[in-house]
Amino acid sequence: MLTIRVFGGDCPNCNQLEKMCFNVLAYNSMDADVQKITDIKKIAEYGIMHTPALVINNKVYCSGKLPTEKDLFRWFRLNLIESCNLQ
C-alpha cells in the first residue's frame, strides 16, 4: 500500500493537490494511506522549502508546484511496483 503525504497549509494549490491525489487513486482503484501535513516542523523535517509538496513512501516527488494527474498516476504506479518487488 502507498503512503502519501501532502504537505502544505490551507492554500488553493495545497488543497488541489490533495484532491488530485484522491481522484487519481479512486479512478485507478488504488489503495493508499493519504494524509495532509500542515505542521511546519514536520514539513521542515523532510527538507521541504515550498508547498504544495508531495511525499510518496517517504520520498519527496514534488515541491512548490502542482504535478499533473498523469505524473501522480505514474509516481503511484512506480511505487506500487517497487513495493511489490520488495516483498
Question: What is the full DSSP assignment across 14-27?
Answer: HHHHHHHHHHHHHH
pLDDT above 80: residue 64: yes
Q: Which residue has the cell 514536520?
A: 42
Residue 57 CB contacts under 8 Å (≥ 6 apart), including other chains: 2, 3, 79, 82, 83
Output the average pLDDT for the chain.
95
- Grid cell 501532502 in the structure block, residue: 6
Class of domain 2-86: alpha beta
pLDDT at 57: 96
Q: What are the pLDDT digits (tens) for 37-60?
A: 999 999 999 999 999 999 999 999
Q: How many helices (H) and strands (E) does the chain have?
A: 3, 4
pLDDT tier for residue 87 given thresholds of 50, 70 and 90: low
This model's pTM is above 0.85:
yes
Percent of the chain with pLDDT over 70: 98
